[in-house]
Structure 1
Amino acid sequence: MSHSPQPAQQLSACQSEHAMGCEKVGAGHAMHLIQQRVVSATPSKWLDAVVGTPIGDGWVRLHLLDGSAVNVWHHEALENLAAVGEPVGIHGVYKVVAVGDRWFNVLVEGELAA
Structure 2
Amino acid sequence: MNTPLTRLSPLEVRERAACMCEFGDVCSSYAPGHALHLIQARMASATPLGWVDAIVDAVDAASGVLQLRTLDGDLHVIWNAGGAALEAAAGTPVALHDAYGVLAIGGAQYNVVQYNVVQYNVAR
Q: TM-score, length-normalised on structure 2?
A: 0.68
Matched letter for residue 29 of structure 1: H
How many residues are treated as equivalent by the alignment?
92
Partner in structure 1 of residue 47 of structure 2:
42
Q: 2:61 aligned with 1:53, yes or no?
A: no
Question: What are the Cα deviations for residues 42-87 of structure 1, in whole angstroms up to 9, with x where unaligned?
Answer: 0111000000112451111001111110101001343311111010
Aligned structure 1 segments of 4 or more residues deviating by more than 2 angstroms: 76-79
| Of 21, 35, 38, the match for 2:26 | 21
Counterpart AA for 2:46: A
Q: Distance in 2 between matches of 1:57 and 1:77?
A: 10
Paired residues of 1:57 and 1:77 also in contact (CA < 8 A) = no
Q: Distance in 2 between matches of 1:54 and 1:87?
A: 13
The code of the aligned residue for 1:109 comes to Y
Task: Show structure 2 runs of 5+ residues with no match.
Answer: 1-24, 118-124
User: What is the alpha-carbon root mean square deviation over aligned residues?
Assistant: 1.7
Partner SS state of residue 80, structure 1 = helix
AA paired with 1:39? A
Letter in 1 for 2:91: G
Q: Write the distance in 2 (CA, Å) between the matches of 1:84 and 1:42.
A: 27
In structure 2, C-alpha distance between the alignment counterparts of 1:92 and 1:98, rounded to whole Å: 11
Aligned-partner SS, 2:45: helix
- Do 1:29 and 1:106's aligned partners in 2 also have CA atoms closer than 8 Å? yes
Structure with bigger gyration radius: 2
Instruction: Please give the secondary structure, in 1, of the residue aligned with 2:109.
Output: strand
Between stretches 29-38 and 43-52, larger displacement belongs to: 29-38
1:38 Cα deviation from its structure 2 partner? 0.7
- Residues in 1 aligned to 2:112 and 2:98: alpha-carbon distance in whole angstroms: 11
